[in-house]
């Protein structure tokens, strides 16, 4: 049996992979590289971090709803277990 993880724990682990950059206009950008397209911006680093977490939450909910394969982060896998395909009798 595989371990179960909460969505909150996944978000915590994903946020640990966040990187931030100070932009030329002195605002910040943040991204979570294991999660393609998960990028946010803010006037301050704290605002950027909060926006990035909100973006990640939305990104996850859309991915789960649409059945996208989510990245496994630090061993945390939110993907449903793969069910083996049954062969049809010939």
Is residue 74 included in any domain, yes or no?
no
Q: What is the value of pTM for the model shown?
A: 0.83
Is residue 24 included in any domain, yes or no?
yes
Mean predicted lDDT score pLDDT of the chain: 91
Residue with tokens 């909150």: 8
- Do 28 and 42 form a contact (C-beta atoms < 8 A)? yes
* Structural tokens at position 8: 């909150």
pLDDT score of 6: 85
What's the mean pLDDT in 59-80?
93
CATH number at residue 47: 3.30.160.250
Asked if the model's pLDDT at residue 86 lies above 80, the reply is no
Domain count, the chain: 1
Question: Which band of pLDDT confidence, cut at 50, 70 and 90, is reported for residue 1?
Answer: very low
- Enclosing domain of residue 44: 7-66
Alpha helices (H) in 1-90, listed in sequence order: 7-15, 45-66
Q: What percent of the chain has pLDDT over 70?
A: 92
What's the mean pLDDT in 37-54?
98
Question: Which band of pLDDT confidence, cut at 50, 70 and 90, is reported for residue 3?
Answer: low
Is residue 42 included in any domain, yes or no?
yes
């Amino acid at each position: 049996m595989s371990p179960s993880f909460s969505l909150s724990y996944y978000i915590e682990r994903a946020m640990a992979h966040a990187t931030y950059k100070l932009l030329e206009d002195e605002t910040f950008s943040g991204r979570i590289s294991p999660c393609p397209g998960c990028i946010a911006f803010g006037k301050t680093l704290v605002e950027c971090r909060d926006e990035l977490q909100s973006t990640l939450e939305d990104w996850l909910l859309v991915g789960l709803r649409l059945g996208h394969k989510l990245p496994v982060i630090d061993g945390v896998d939110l993907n449903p277990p793969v069910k083996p395909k049954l062969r049809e009798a010939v």
